[in-house]
Chains A and B, each alone.
Chain A
Amino acid sequence: MTNCYRVVFLSIVVALMLAMMPLPDWAQSFRPDWVTMVLIYWVMALPQQVGVTVAWVSGLLLDVSLGSILGQHAIGLVLVSYLVSLQYQRIRVFSLFQQSIVIFILLIFKQILVLWVNGIVGQAAETWSYFLPSLAGAVIWPWVFTLLRNIRRQNTRSSHI
């Protein structure tokens, strides 16, 4: 079980690094929300181990690394992972395409929460391209899912042996 926590921790660290990784200007507006996607996967795959608390802590770390208001991404991640933990049995049996649609809705939901907080503070983005990361996230979800599933299977197998 400790092994599984280590994998979750490492994948969140990698997601945080991808969120901070410098990208060329044109690609910046397509940068998927890696941390949210990785968390959605883990809540879906291991709902007993990964839940809202892990989501909250990684949300705070994301806030610190992006320089946004403390708690802004945390609140979004808590609500998204809460929704996933209610519905994980249903999402698990979806096909990859159907999952992508669900992920798209969840990512949009999180972005709207972040936008809402930004609006209250008075720095809301005013372009539709603000939602491009959600689209990009939904498009690459099948690969993220497959990759994380392989990692999870390998590690749980090795822990049993």
Chain B
Amino acid sequence: MQPLFLRGPSVTLRAIILVGLSVVLMIADHRWSHLESMRGAMESYFIHPLRYVINIPVDFIHWSSNSFSFHQELLDENQELKDQRLRAQVSLQKLSILEKENERLRKMLSAQPKVGERVLIAELLSIDMDPYKQQVVLNKGQQHSVYLGQPVIDAWGVMGQVVHRGDFSSTAMLITDPSHAIPVQVNRNGLRSTVFGNGQTDRLELRYIPHNADIEIGDLIITSGLGGRFPPNYPVGRITEIERPAGETFANVIAQPVAHIDRSREVLLVWHNQPEIEVVEIVKEATDND
């Protein structure tokens, strides 16, 4: 026989204790990152399998659209990719000459040698996160030595950075998230600024730019490498709007991200401050891990 009434004080007491615990957790999670391992464990052992299951139909659609496409379509795509590869190789030739030249010039100036970067291709899982946060889930995690704060880029520019990681997947915050900031400079003249997200996928804000700063619509914004989190010289965005309101200290500058924030399915995880590796090795590793 079940008791007719709930044990009154015990429910209230439990509720109070759990609310208190939640508050402690929230403060600990927001202020410090002590709870990353706990979050990582829950993500690896419980949430990841669920995400995997959710992703199956999406994967199946991708697989079937590949398997059942027409011969001619595949031929066309193949031809296009070959063309692209040829063009990329031509520019790569030029790049290697420029790199050698740069190295020579640096030696002449006895400047520090450039550090290399290592990349790994990751795929986005089709998972919806908190709709008021700009986050994506990647299919690479601690197993692939992903680290917290790791830069994420796509073929066009900087996308964001890793904020949580599990064993087999990780969560990246996009540069368009309202709580994200990234140190940048204008490619044309090296003017430094910081780019903040504002929650929309096609808008970035450049803050603390004085009225008389030399900045124009169409300028390319690249990472400055200050702060040490993002490697320098990756494109971030292009200036689309400049407003100089008379009463305010700073100009309102809006940029559009060059990365395909809401369209890319494949992204690159970057390890920078690594000894330089030949391009061939990177490509090999990328295909191995794919």
Q: Does A75 contact B (CB under 8 A)?
A: yes
Secondary structure dominating the interface of B: helix
Q: Does B30 contact A (CB under 8 A)?
A: yes
For A48, A51, A69, which residue has the most chain B Cβ atoms within 10 angstroms?
A69
Interface residues of A in 42-94 (CB under 8 A from B): 47-48, 51-53, 55-56, 59-61, 64-72, 74-75, 78-79, 82, 85-86
- Kindly provide the distance from the CB of B139 to the nearest chain A CB, expressed in whole angstroms: 14
Secondary structure dominating the interface of A: helix
| Distance between Cα atoms of A33 and B14 in the complex (Å) | 24
**Interchain residue pairs with CB less than 8 A apart (14):** A17-B50, A31-B128, A48-B2, A60-B42, A61-B47, A65-B43, A66-B129, A67-B130, A71-B23, A74-B22, A75-B26, A78-B18, A78-B19, A79-B15
Tier of interface size on chain B: 35 or more
> How many residue pairs at the A-B interface have CB separations less than 8 Å?
118
Taken residue by residue from 28 to 46, chain B's Cβ proximity to chain A (1 for < 8 Å, 0 otherwise) reads as 1110000100110011001
| Distance between Cα atoms of A151 and B276 in the complex (Å) | 60
B43: contacting residue among A47, A64, A82, CB under 8 A: A64
- Kindly provide the distance from the CB of A87 to the nearest chain B CB, expressed in whole angstroms: 11
| Distance between Cα atoms of A16 and B42 in the complex (Å) | 13
Q: Which residue of A lies closest to B132 (CB)?
A: A125
When distances are taken between beta carbons in the complex, the residues of chain A under 8 Å from B2 are: 48
When distances are taken between beta carbons in the complex, the residues of chain A under 8 Å from B23 are: 71, 75
| Distance between Cα atoms of A75 and B14 in the complex (Å) | 12
When distances are taken between beta carbons in the complex, the residues of chain A under 8 Å from B179 are: 121-123
Binding site for A on B (CB under 8 A): 2-3, 6, 11-12, 14-15, 18-19, 21-26, 28-30, 35, 38-39, 42-43, 46-47, 50-51, 53-54, 58, 126-133, 135, 163-164, 171, 178-179
